Amino acid sequence: MADNPKSRCPKEFFDFVVRRGLRQTPQRRAIVELVVSTRQHFTAEQLYDWARARDASVSRATVYRTLTLLTESGLIQELELGKEVKYYDPNYVAHPDHNHIICLDCGKIIEFDSPEIDQQAQKIAQDLGFAVKSRRLQILATCDELQKTGHCSRKAD
């Protein structure tokens, strides 16, 4: 079976944590296991709720500190959506160069691949004398439901 990048995440993360002089705690382990087990983009508060359901001793501060460490280690990616709430992309290690389209109204996030965008990015970089090492594209939009009906069922009122 091929090596799964996500299966390496907990070990790589805790190696990173130890190099930082920090401990591998049961609470951190629970948080990391949740992160690598989901493909869903999530907020810190969603992760906190999931972690508390698994281990009632997990604190909000531990979730936020662990998210910072996961981001610094390169195992997840923080998505800036121009709002107060940050989202995290757990699919970054397995697939670092993918694109997102994000609804500005309801927050829905869809990942997509596009060979055309990949080719265009390579061409632009080459034309400007660069070699692409990684790429990130976010398209901010309004979802069809809101455009068609004037209301989005996913939007919190």
3-state SS of the chain?
A: CCCCHHHHHHHHHHHHHHHCCCCCCHHHHHHHHHHHHCCCCEEHHHHHHHHHHHCCCCCHHHHHHHHHHHHHCCCCEEECCCCCCCEEECCCCCCCCCEEEEECCCCCEEEECCHHHHHHHHHHHHHCCCCCCCCCEEEEECCHHHHHHCCCCCCCC
Percent of the chain with pLDDT over 70: 87
pLDDT of 1 above 70: no
Q: Domains for the chain: give ranges and CATH numbers.
A: 1-94 (1.10.10.10), 97-157 (3.30.1490.190)
CA 28 to chain centre: 17
State mean pLDDT over 105-133: 89
d(CA 139, CA 29): 33
- Global pTM reads 0.72
Closest CA to 107 of 63, 67, 146: 146
Number of residues that this document lists for the chain: 157
Question: Confidence band (pLDDT; 50, 70, 90) for 2?
Answer: very low
State mean pLDDT over 28-57: 93
pLDDT in tens, 70-96: 999 888 888 876 667 788 988 766 666
Residues pairing with 77 in the sheet: 89
Residue pointed to by tokens 């990173």: 16
